[in-house]
Structure 1
Amino acid sequence: MGCDGGTIPKRHELVKGPKKVEKPDKNAELVARWYYCTLSQEKLKKPIVACELGRLYNKDAVIEFLLDKSPDKPNADSSGHIKSIKNVIELNLSENPAWTGGRGNTKGDKYDEQCSQFICPVVGLEMNGRHRFCVLRQCGCVFSERALKEIKTDVCHKCGANFQEEDVILLNGDKDEVEDLRKKMEERRLKAKLEKKSKKSKVVENGIAKGEAAEGIAEPSKTANGTKLVPKDDPSSVSGMDPKQLSAATKRPLPNGEGKSEAYKSIFTSHSSAKRTKDQSSNWITHTAYYF
């Protein structure tokens, strides 16, 4: 039954308590989000894009994801909000002069990176996950959150483009910040859809208004004196007839050929000149095979 030979078991060997929840390594999580593509899990390399939720991708991985039309494509849940290439922003990043290109003398497994490839062009903070960074949706320039807070302006520090507070997207935020960005994204897309519908309706209304204006020009109008202004192309102005009577007269033929000359009537076989008497008409002969 065990416990022979004078062994004394301890409590932790007999009673099993609850399992400890394994916590992910923070350094490994930062490296995975800031140095690797969310879709392909490969190292980020230019051109780098960001979605409206602040996640980082390689542009070629996003294109492959959009071209894949299979129902069970990978990462469909996390990146399903990307419907087209217009839903991502190409980042205008600033290179770090101290970056050696990853050619360091590293030994063993190493999660944390000593140096980042990109920095903030204003305050010089490295884009390694330890500092919060933002991207401007209009121009794609990337700055640290500290730079945007310390130097408050409506003009981009790098390219000079105008932007608003709604155009600032936080990169790799926490769950609550991602949910806020998702709500803003849905509101923005709904607003764009409504604007597109309103533009289409305006185009249709303008076309209808132009058609009605053209019809109004063709109709006769009265002046203050009571006289009618008739267009030059109106046939009733020439003949003096009512337009309805004129159209009926042009469509209906004259009965019994009234008003036509004798020369015109002689063309047809129904004319008296085309009729022959019995003496003038000859007998018809039909030839058969027995005739010859």
Structure 2
Amino acid sequence: MVVVYGEPNVFCKNLDDTQENWEDCLQNCLNTWSCVLVHQLTEKSCKFFTIQDVRNVKILDSSSNKKVAFKISLPTDTCPRETQAPPLFGNDSSSLIITNGEGTYYKSEVTYSPETWDYTEEINIETWDFNYGMLNCLTDIPENYVPLDITEEYPYYHKLTSPFSPGETFFMRGKTAKLGKVTTIAFLNTETSDYPLYIILNQEHDVSNNVSITIWKNNNQLLRNIPEIYPNPYGPEEDFEIRVTSTKDVATIYFNTTKIEYPLYSGVPLPNINYFVINYNGESQPNQRGELYFLGWTGDCQYLNM
């Protein structure tokens, strides 16, 4: 919590006062997931503001003796130097991602405004402005998903915006390749040319109609001399669905209802990947011809303004 001189300017008027000392007010706001601001009323009373309760705070100096405390996300555990004024410490804005613990995430962002019209005093005032958003993330393949319009030739790249951490889920729908061709699903770090997980659906003749799973480092060094081979639950040109989730040590791969537990290698961390790539192994291969209908993961998120 960052304490500064100020008072709420645009806010919900029907919020109740809380009868407790200032230190308890600060601690209770910090411990309450939805609290973004607390305003000191007296030495033994305060008012809590949760998401969307407050829109801006009037900036005051120490002579006012009116205090507010922002819940701010600081880059380190060390308080910023006082040469930059709180609560933004020289930054244009400060964002806080908060969750209700049930899978819904919210963004609270504070920015500085040098000119906000005060309708009471009919003058421009300096304020800290709040903006809120809700973070919507994919949790599964949408029932009414729009098939991907892939105009370029494979390979198809899907860039990750955050680590593919343990507990995240990758999901894809597509069609297997023709007889004699393959479909590849690469979990790739393009910066190091590592494949923490590389899956091949072989649509060859009966003796090699299988699923091959490998791990590669530096593009050419295969960490296991013999790929892990599993029965292929699909025939050529057949619709399929794949899901991949993991712990730190094991990837769990589902082809529809077929489940494969595949041990990972600590030297090639799965969270370090930056792309999912379909039909790829360093270059576009003529025999890689699986089709992609939809691809997503639980890290695909979008903010919606509130």
Q: Tell me the TM-score range normalised by the shorter chain.
A: under 0.3
Rg comparison, structure with higher value: 1
The structure with the greater share of residues assigned to helix is 1
Q: TM-score, normalization: structure 2?
A: 0.21
